[in-house]
Amino acid sequence: MKTAVTGAAALAISHGMNQLGKPVIALEPGQTAFDLIEVMEQSGPFALLHIGADDPKVMLSYAEQCRDLGLDFSADPGTLDGADAAEFIEGAKFLVTSQDRYQFLQGVTGLSDDEILKRVRVRVTTLDAEGTEIVGHDMDRVRVPLARARELIDPAGAPDAFVAGLLAALGWGMPLRRAAEIGSQLSAVALESVGTRGYTLNPAEFVHRLEQSYGAACAAEASAYLLPE
């Protein structure tokens, strides 16, 4: 099934997913939320909706629709404040943020790590140079190191590329560690170009770079989707 993405970064995230060959439905930001039932009637069902930073009313509407419809959603609360932020993340399958945004979320909601994990199933937090931390119910805490980058040209596209790679790999059915590795490697590719959608992907080269960063097993699993026979 497809993945859908919303919010100000929807086009940048969908660019990365398209580069990886993963079908995606991009719901561009606006003053009102799309009706998800109507979206699925037109575009087909999707397995996960990633709700990115947008107008607070729109974000809350998408989260409420997902809960009402029983749809899995991934939440990026951005700069939502207080009660809105706490309500928004309730029931999310994934909470995907940077470390700074996660600390902001804790500050405005007053929620501890444990209290946040009572509201979401899995927290995926990027930690700048320290890689990515994954914490969730009934699982060991996972740390994924940064992928190797050749050079730093523009950091603008890296966060959205990470989310794109994470969502694409989850859509393929990869486990969370592998998904974070794919996201980190795509983020490294984005660092080497200008803007949020300035990069293009060579699948064979990307698989090779995954092997350099994370080993042969990661590359082999990714090649099944990126280099189909």
Q: What is the pLDDT of residues 19-44, one digit of tens each?
A: 999 989 999 898 899 999 999 999 99
Q: Which amino acid is at 68?
A: D
CATH of the domain at 128: 3.40.1190.20
| Chain segment 154-166, per-residue pLDDT in tens | 999 999 999 999 9
pTM: 0.96
State the average pLDDT over residues 214-225.
Answer: 97
Please report the pLDDT score of residue 30 as a whole number: 84
Taking residue 114's Cβ as centre, other Cβ atoms within 10 Å add up to: 7
Alpha helix positions (H), 54-202: 56-69, 82-89, 99-109, 113-117, 158-172, 176-191
pLDDT higher than 90, residue 1: no
Is residue 59 predicted with pLDDT exceeding 80? yes
> For the chain, how many structural domains are there in total?
1
Residues contacting 135, CB < 8 A, separation 6+: 113, 117, 122, 123, 125, 141, 142
Q: Give the range of the structural domain holding residue 69, as residue numbers without chain letter.
A: 2-226
Pair 9, 53: CB distance under 8 Å? yes
Does the structure show a pLDDT above 90 at 137? no
As a whole-number percent, the residues of the chain with pLDDT over 90 amount to 91
- pLDDT of 183-214, one tens digit each? 999 999 999 999 999 999 999 999 999 999 99
Q: Are 105 and 97 in contact (CB under 8 A)?
A: yes
* Residue 82: predicted pLDDT: 92
